[in-house]
Amino acid sequence: MQTKDFILASGSPQRRALLESIGMFPKDIRPAGIDETPFSGEEPLPYIRRMALSKAQAAAAANPGENVLSADTVIVVGSKIIQKSPDDAAQTAVMRLLSGRTHRVITSVCLIDRSGHISQKTVTTKIVMKHLTDAEIAEYVASGEWHGVAGYKIEGLLAGFVKKIIGSHSGVIGLPLYETRNLLNGAGIRRKQAAGKSKLKQGA
């Protein structure tokens, strides 16, 4: 059975699909629009934690009395946060930067429950990318899979360029399910079992 006891403050179809895969169905999708510009000198980890928290706080303020779940994800090479590419040339530069290197994908998940209590988990996953040829870079850029996202989508053509994922695969997609489930369960939000499934047989 489904549970519908929370609002998802993200318009990402990938995050919604991940939640639904573990039986957690948000009652509504209400993305929070905030300024996502990093502060001057802000490091990736505090930045992504601030983004997830700010989105949850904005959605909670707009929806008082509701459980609100938010998340944000960033790709990091060294200490450089990868931003959305405005055109093919910029995305080509991103792919050259990622080629043959290990980079990090950091996802932060934040839950504000009905009482205003804040819970947050942040997960870092390492991605080992193969050395990309010029032809492979051109193929990926031409695919357009990167449009609307920062860096790439792991589910698609790029998956064939990844040698190893060390950490949470679902976190790379946009929502680390183990940590997210624990946050929801901690707030009393659980996947509802079918009636009678947990009942023991009576008598003999």
Tens digits of residue pLDDT in 140-190: 999 999 999 999 999 999 999 999 999 999 999 999 999 999 999 999 999
The count of domains in the chain is 1
Whether residue 202 lies inside any domain: the answer is no
Q: Is residue 201 part of a domain?
A: no
Structural domain span for residue 37 = 7-186
- pLDDT category at 191 given cuts 50, 70, 90 is confident
Share the mean pLDDT of the chain: 92
Is 72 a catalytic site residue?
yes
Asked whether residue 78 is assigned to any structural domain, the reply reads yes
Percent of the chain with pLDDT over 90: 89
CA distances (Å), origin 24, targets 21, 76, 102, 119? 7, 29, 32, 17
Q: Which of 24-38, 102-116, 178-192 has the highest mean pLDDT?
A: 102-116
Residue 193: predicted pLDDT: 58
Give the separation between CA 142 and CA 145, rounded to whole angstroms.
Answer: 8
Flag whether pLDDT at 204 surpasses 70.
no
Q: Is the per-residue pLDDT at 200 higher than 80?
A: no
Could you tell me if residue 194 is inside a domain? no
The Cα 179–Cα 171 span in angstroms is: 9
Cα distance between residue 167 and residue 153, in whole Å: 16
Q: Where are the alpha helices (DSSP H) in the chain?
A: 13-21, 44-62, 88-98, 134-143, 169-173, 177-186
* 201 pLDDT tier (thresholds 50, 70, 90): very low
For position 42, which CATH number holds? 3.90.950.10
Q: Judging by DSSP bridges, how do beta strands 7-8 and 28-29 pair with one another?
A: parallel
pLDDT confidence of residue 196: 45
Catalytic choice (5, 35, 72, 134): 72
Is the pLDDT confidence value at 197 over 90? no
In a domain, 2, yes or no: no
Buried b (16+ CB within 10 A) or exposed e, 71-108: bbbbbbbeeebbeebeeeeebbebbebbbeeebbbbbb
Is 108 within the bounds of a domain?
A: yes
Could you give the percent of the chain with pLDDT greater than 70? 92
Which residue's structure tokens are 């624990």? Answer: 182
More confident residue, 192 or 66: 66
- What pTM did the predictor assign? 0.90
Span 21-38, average pLDDT = 93
Are 68 and 111 spatial neighbours (Cβ–Cβ below 8 Å)? yes
Is 110 a domain residue?
A: yes
> What is the pLDDT, as a whole number, of residue 2?
53
Q: Is residue 200 part of a domain?
A: no
